[in-house]
Chains A and B, each alone.
Chain A
Amino acid sequence: MNLSHNYLYAAAMLLFCIGLYNVIVRRNIVKKLIGLNIMETSVFFFYISLGYTRNGVAPVAGAGADPTRMVNPVPQVLVLTGIIVAVGVTALALSMVILLHRKYGTLDTDQIMRMARQEETQAAREEGN
């Protein structure tokens, strides 16, 4: 279990941590979404490298195909499904980002929270009057 055997998995986990860091730390919403996409890509990479065999060939059945040398196709199917899900989530998130940008004019989460808080104190003040 040393790194020379598992370098693919280690790389995938490094990408996962980079993605998670961006989702948490960045203030710009689009950067957060890019971080989310990096996380998703890293997990897909992890799946594909699960099925890898050294000097493997594509898993296409046919005359003269040798099943023992083929790469495992099951994780690839899972990754295809995962990519569809990731695209759907990104599309929904970006539509929400557009709505927020229209309302607040900025993509910075700190500024949005500040403006929202000002709105709410103003609404509370007007309601009290």
Chain B
Amino acid sequence: MAIFMITLPLLGAVLVSIVGYLKPHWLPWGALVPLLASGVLGCMLIGRIPSDGYISYHLGNWSVPLGIELRVDYLALFLMLLICALGLLALIFSRRYIVKEVSAGRMTAYYVLILLLSGGLMGFVASGDIFNLFVFMEIVALSSYGLVAISANSRAVRAALRYLLMGAPASIIILLGIALLYMATGSLNMAELAGRIGQSGYREILIASFVLFVVGFGVKAALFPLHLWLPDAHSIAPSPVSALLSGLVVEVSIFGILRIAYSVFTPHVGNLTSATSNALAVLAAAGVIFGGVMALLQKDLKLMLAYSTISHVGYIFLGLTAFNAEGLTGAMYHMLDHGLAKACMFLCAGSFIYIKGFRRIEDLKGAWRQMPWTCFAFGLAAFSLVGIPPTAGFISKWYLILGNVKAGNWVYVVVLLLGSLLGAFYCFRILYYMFFQPGKEGAWTPRPADVPPSMLIPIWILAVATVFFGLFSGLVIPSLLKAAGLLI
């Protein structure tokens, strides 16, 4: 059944392209159907996967050495549900919003690409075979290059080409890493690799392979010195696309490193991976500070959110490199929280652009008079991103800091706290402008005239979800701890 979660959006993409050609009015609703079906299947799978087990599906019933295996364990299902949810909410938001940025001739392409992106992300997360991981990563990458360029104005095409010129070499570097792994072990299946890497005598090849994976996935995940494509790409893409890119694509690439570092190069072979992990942690810490400082300096709202993504990617990496169950749980929960909160903030930015065309932070002064719903949702998401107690961000940062304290990395604890402080500065600056500053003359109407409900409902579902997952984190955290403990 897990296979249908992945193939339904992919097949749906093909069907939606036909629907878009014949009956363009049906496009937004038609695009929702495959993702809804995947979401329902995902919910049905929740009870079936114990937190210390997994579901394994062999494609075509070919057994493991020859065939491709899909392995959905608790972490993978967690992310697949997040992908379905964010994809659905972005699609609902797009119905009204996308007319503003994408010309009518490209609507079909937009919906097809979003479905391909969702299907590709789910396949990436569920993959149990390392080359299958590469194929789905390419599906995700190509759809995101297309989605960044979809509005076809020159800035968008330049940003997409820059993204491509950094992302495609990164994919090739990952392919080379897979080649080195195959050379050293003779297998491509992740479970078999975990066994064979410990026994293989080819030390240097395996170290080189891990470094290549970190560099390749690091470009895709916007690790600090390799982040140069992200600010332009995420700020110029249409807002629902930015929500999906920042909230999912970047995080799924980090999940790729998680899979490589924990399920393939298990912590038993720490002598192979420890030097690279230390370097990764240093770069991640630098990224946290860099992203925070650059976000403070930005005047454009979406550019600020993009630099904030770089900072939060650093947090998740610092959770991964702590190498204990709490750090890994913090990293996974931060993926959830950052996905929800950042998607909410990008959709709110989209609302401001939809109603008024405002992109600069200064133009948001006094916004709450006209758009109170959007502003309050943005405020909730900002609280979650900073890490204020009842929200999910607090829980995730708690576990991140706990993981690093247990590992004894006091420098990274200080970096995490500093990053939260910077986050407070740049998020609360916007809240101050929105709520406590008077607007320019005639910029905002005194009576509320907010975005239509089909755009407000996704924003508020996301904002409420960040608080929900903070208050009721007991639903997820114990299972995450158990699943993470298995990997260590």
User: What sequence of 0s and 1s flags, for each residue 156-183 of chain B, a beta carbon within 8 Å of any chain A beta carbon?
Assistant: 0110110011001101100110110011
Instruction: Verify if B381 is at the interface (C-beta below 8 Å from A).
Output: no
User: Is the Cβ of A96 less than 8 Å from the Cβ of B164?
Assistant: yes
Given A39-B172, A43-B175, the answer on whether A93 and B131 have CB atoms closer than 8 Å is no
Closest chain A CB from B167 CB (angstroms): 9
- The reply to whether B176 and A43 contact each other, CB–CB distance below 8 Å, is yes
Is A96 touching B138 in the complex (CB atoms < 8 A)? no
Residues of chain B lying within 8 A (CB to CB) of residue A125: none
Check B164–A92 contact: CB distance below 8 A. Answer: yes
CB within 8 Å for A47 and B172 given contacts A23-B165, A104-B154: no
**Is A81 close to B, CB under 8 A?**
yes
* Per-residue contact bits, chain A 97-119, to B (CB 8 Å; 1 contact, 0 not): 10110011000000010001001
Query: Is the pair A85, B146 in contact by a Cβ cutoff of 8 Å?
Result: no
Q: Give the residue among A74, A85, A119 with the most B Cβ atoms within 10 A.
A: A85
Number of interface residues of B (CB under 8 A): 28
Contact with A along B169-206 (1 / 0, CB 8 A): 10110011011001100001000000000000000000
CB atoms of A89 and B155 under 8 A apart: no
B172 A75 Cβ-Cβ under 8 A: no
CB B28 to nearest CB in A, in angstroms, measures 25
Interface string of B122-148 (1 = CB under 8 A from A): 000000000100010010011001100
Determine if B149 is an interface residue (Cβ-Cβ < 8 Å). yes
A89: chain B residues within 8 A (beta carbon): 138, 141-142, 145, 164, 168, 171
A32 vs B164: C-alpha distance when bound (angstroms): 11
B228 in contact (CB, < 8 A): no
Of the candidates B160, B171, B172, B179, the one whose C-beta lies within 8 Å of that of A50 is B179
Q: Does B152 contact A (CB under 8 A)?
A: yes
Cβ of A32 and Cβ of B165 under 8 Å apart? yes
A81 touches B161 (CB 8 A): no
Contacts A50-B183, A85-B138 known; A43 to B172 CB distance under 8 Å?
A: yes
Q: Mark A63-106, 1 if CB is under 8 A from B, else 0.
A: 00000000000110010011001001100110011011001100
Check if A92 sits within 8 Å of B142, measured CB to CB.
Answer: yes
Q: In whole angstroms, how far apart are the Cα atoms of A104 and B157 in the complex? A: 12
Interface residue from B142, B155, B161, B165 paired with A88 (Cβ < 8 Å): B142
Instruction: Determine the main DSSP class of B at the interface with A.
Output: helix
Pair A103/B142 contact, Cβ less than 8 Å:
no
B345: min CB distance to chain A, Å: 24
- Whether the pair A46, B164 counts as a contact (CB closer than 8 A) is no
Q: Which residues of A contact B183 (CB under 8 A)?
A: 50
A100 CA to B175 CA in the complex, in Å? 29
- Find out whether the CB atom of A81 lies under 8 angstroms from the CB atom of B171: no
Q: Which residues of A contact B158 (CB under 8 A)?
A: 100, 112, 116
Residues 442-473 (chain B) with a chain A CB within 8 angstroms: none
Question: Shortest CB–CB separation between residue A51 and chain B, in angstroms?
Answer: 9
Interface contact B131-A85, CB-CB below 8 Å: no
In whole angstroms, what is the CA distance A78 to B182 when docked? 11
Q: Tell which of A50, A82, A85, A96 touches B157, judged by Cβ atoms closer than 8 Å.
A: A96
**Residue contact B165 to A36, C-beta cutoff 8 Å:** yes
B161 to A, closest residue via Cβ: A96
Instruction: From B149, B154, B171, B188, give the contact of A116 (CB < 8 A).
Output: B154
Question: What is the distance, in angstroms, from A80's C-beta to the closest C-beta of chain B?
Answer: 11
Could you tell me the distance between the alpha carbons of A89 and B160 in the complex, rounded to whole angstroms?
12
Chain A residue with the shortest CB-CB distance to B146:
A92
Chain A residue at minimal CB-CB distance from B174: A43
- With beta carbons under 8 angstroms apart, the residue of B145, B152, B165 that contacts A99 is B152
* Chain B residues with CB below 8 A from A99, complex form: 149, 152, 154, 157
- Contact for B171 among A47, A85, A92, A93, CB less than 8 A: A85
A99→B150 CA distance, assembly (Å): 12
Q: Enumerate chain A interface residues (CB-CB to B < 8 A).
A: 16, 20, 23, 29, 32, 36, 39-40, 43, 46-47, 50, 74-75, 78, 81-82, 85, 88-89, 92-93, 96-97, 99-100, 103-104, 112, 116, 119
20 A-B pairs besides A50-B183, A74-B188, A96-B145 with CB distance below 8 A are A20-B169, A39-B169, A39-B172, A43-B172, A43-B175, A47-B179, A50-B179, A74-B182, A75-B179, A75-B182, A81-B135, A85-B135, A85-B138, A89-B168, A93-B165, A93-B168, A97-B161, A99-B152, A99-B154, A100-B161
The 9 closest A-B pairs by CB, nearest first: A85-B138, A103-B154, A96-B161, A99-B157, A39-B172, A43-B175, A43-B176, A89-B168, A96-B157
Q: Provide a sorted-by-A list of 29 A–B residue pairs whose CB atoms are within 8 angstroms.
A: A20-B169, A36-B168, A36-B172, A40-B172, A43-B172, A43-B175, A43-B176, A46-B176, A46-B179, A50-B179, A50-B182, A75-B182, A78-B131, A78-B182, A81-B135, A82-B175, A85-B171, A89-B138, A89-B168, A89-B171, A92-B145, A93-B161, A93-B168, A96-B149, A99-B149, A99-B154, A99-B157, A103-B157, A112-B158
